[in-house]
């Protein structure tokens, strides 16, 4: 695939120890290394500092023991749950901090929800050789590069690796065997967050830089997805819109996506919560997608349920009347959009599509070619958004608000 060849040629110029060992995006490598770092003589203070910075509360007193990938076997389960990092504070233990860590992969919220249950707490205490009746305070964190929230509501609070750059010293008192891996990991985090800061400040875009060139500038933990998402965060910030940065899965591949919303475009009610009727659970957004193969960016308008329900038309578990009401509301919105703004939208390249389409109601044509500059891409997004935002708001006032 062209995209893969492009990234391979760029990343090979900045290979480090993690690249050579093939552990660049393996979170178990980072977890094992962090465990060893926190277990060093100075590591107890670093662990307490990280707790305080990440959770914004005083760290528990006493010694800190850190266990990586704690194995929890539950009855009736073919596989085990394995929390990535378990911090036990105090002697005797008074506080336990469960951390599920990710680098590039996603998570299973169902797994996180299992970690919160009493049965999991008992298993953690057993694995740490503590009495089942031990009274401790429990803390839960979901650790990612961008402090992402879990897909479902859980007790796991989002935190980021970013704080470690200020907590872990540049010249620590570590063994000669550990120091090279430590220095490489720390530099990877510094590079990642430094590159993000440059993008968000707008200091990395010469007018002549093509979007293709910008997306190709990858190394360490920085990949094409990050580059696209950072740029879209910057653009949506300038537009005063709210971004959701994600991926679209399709037949074993994933496309990088940014969803953009104005106030009121997504219902406060979510289907499946508090008996909310389906037609009241809507999600309208503009969607930019780095197309498969990495040749262009598409720009579309979507209207679907909140949250998105795959295969809605054939979902027999949802009453047909609810599905019909949702579709009628969706078609009314599409009609109002076309009736009020069709000609104006066409003038800036928007092509309205049939509301029979499951998700899409409009598409800007043609796609943006990656050979264009970053500034041209910004302008392309601004122009299309400026035309579509008032049209969506007017249609929404008539039909869904």
Ordered domains of the chain (ranges, CATH): 17-185 (no CATH), 210-399 (3.30.930)
Q: Which of 313, 258, 299 is nearest to 381 (CA)?
A: 299
366 has pLDDT over 70? yes
pLDDT exceeds 60 at position 395: yes
Interval 250-288: pLDDT, tens:
666 678 999 999 999 999 999 988 899 999 999 999 999
Q: What pLDDT shows up at residue 13?
A: 53
Task: Point out the least confidently predicted range of 99-103, 106-110, 266-270, 278-282.
Answer: 106-110
Residue 108 has pLDDT above 80, yes or no: no
pLDDT band at 10 (very low <50, low <70, confident <90, very high): very low
The pLDDT value recorded for residue 251 is 62
H or E segment to which residue 89 belongs? strand 85-89
d(CA 117, CA 215): 42
pLDDT over 50 (residue 9): no
Q: Region 170-181: what's the mean pLDDT?
A: 93
Per-residue model confidence (pLDDT) at position 77 = 67
Q: What's residue 187's pLDDT? A: 96
Question: pLDDT at residue 113 above 60?
Answer: yes
Query: Whole-angstrom Cα distance, residue 55 to residue 178?
Result: 28
- Phi, psi at residue 44, to the nearest 5°? -60, -45
The reported pLDDT for the residue numbered 222 is 95
pLDDT, position 271: 93
For the segment 221-235, the average pLDDT, to the nearest whole number, is: 94
Residue showing tokens 């943006």: 368
pLDDT tens across 305-360, in order? Answer: 999 998 998 899 999 999 999 999 999 999 999 999 999 999 999 999 988 877 89
pLDDT of residue 3: 37
pLDDT for the residue numbered 11: 42
- What's the pLDDT score for residue 73? 80
Overall average pLDDT of the 347-376 stretch: 93
Beta carbons of 28 and 69 less than 8 angstroms apart: yes
Per-residue pLDDT tens for 36-57? 999 998 999 999 999 999 999 9
CA distance 286 to 269: 20
Q: Which residues of 207-244 are buried (b: 16+ CB within 10 A; e: fewer)?
A: eeebbbebbbbbbbbbbbbbbbbbbbbbbbeebebebe
> For residue 17, what pLDDT is reported?
95
Distance CA 223, CA 104 (A): 10
pTM more than 0.85: yes
Low-confidence winner among 24-28, 36-40, 168-172, 251-255 (lowest mean pLDDT): 251-255
Confidence of residue 7 (pLDDT cuts 50, 70, 90): very low
Mean pLDDT of the chain: 90
- Asked if residue 201 has pLDDT above 70, the reply is yes
Question: Could you give the percent of the chain with pLDDT greater than 90?
Answer: 77
Q: By CB neighbour count within 10 A (0-12 exposed, 13-18 middle, 19+ buried), where does 5 fall? A: exposed
């Amino acid at each position: 695939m062209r995209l893969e060849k492009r990234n391979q040629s760029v990343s090979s110029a900045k290979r480090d120890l993690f690249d050579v060992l093939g552990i660049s995006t393996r979170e178990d490598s980072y977890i094992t290394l962090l465990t060893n770092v926190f277990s060093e003589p100075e590591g107890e203070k670093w662990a307490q500092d990280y707790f305080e910075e990440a959770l914004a509360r005083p760290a528990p007193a006493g010694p800190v023991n850190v266990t990586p990938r704690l194995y929890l076997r539950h009855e009736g389960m073919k596989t085990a749950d394995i929390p990535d990092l378990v911090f036990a504070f105090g002697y005797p233990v008074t506080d336990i901090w469960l951390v599920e860590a990710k680098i590039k992969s996603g998570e299973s919220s169902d797994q996180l929800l299992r970690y919160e249950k009493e049965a999991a707490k008992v298993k953690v205490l057993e694995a740490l050789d503590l009495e089942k009746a031990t009274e401790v305070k429990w803390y839960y964190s979901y650790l990612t590069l961008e402090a992402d929230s879990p897909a479902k509501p859980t007790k796991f609070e989002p935190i980021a690796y970013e704080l470690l750059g200020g907590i872990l010293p540049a010249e620590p008192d570590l063994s000669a065997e550990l120091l090279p891996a430590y220095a490489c990991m720390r530099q990877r985090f510094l590079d990642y967050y430094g590159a993000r800061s440059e993008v968000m400040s707008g200091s990395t875009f010469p007018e002549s830089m093509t979007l293709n060139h910008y997306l190709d500038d990858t190394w360490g933990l920085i990949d094409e997805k990050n580059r696209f998402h950072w740029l879209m965060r910057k653009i949506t910030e300038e537009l005063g819109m709210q971004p959701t940065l994600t991926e679209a899965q399709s037949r074993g591949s994933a496309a990088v996506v940014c969803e953009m919303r104005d106030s009121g475009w997504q219902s406060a009610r979510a289907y499946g919560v508090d008996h909310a009727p389906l037609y009241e659970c809507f999600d309208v957004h503009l969607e930019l997608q780095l197309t498969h193969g990495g040749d262009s960016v598409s720009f579309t308008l979507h209207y679907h349920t909140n949250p998105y329900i795959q295969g809605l038309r054939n979902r027999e578990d949802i009453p047909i009347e609810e599905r019909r009401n949702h579709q009628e509301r969706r078609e009314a919105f599409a009609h109002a959009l076309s009736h009020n703004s069709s000609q104006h939208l066409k003038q800036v390249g928007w092509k309205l599509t049939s509301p029979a389409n499951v998700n899409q109601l409009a598409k800007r044509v043609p796609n943006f070619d990656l050979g264009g500059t970053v500034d041209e891409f910004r302008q392309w997004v601004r122009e299309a958004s400026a035309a579509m935002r008032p049209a969506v708001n007017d249609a929404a006032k008539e039909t869904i608000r």
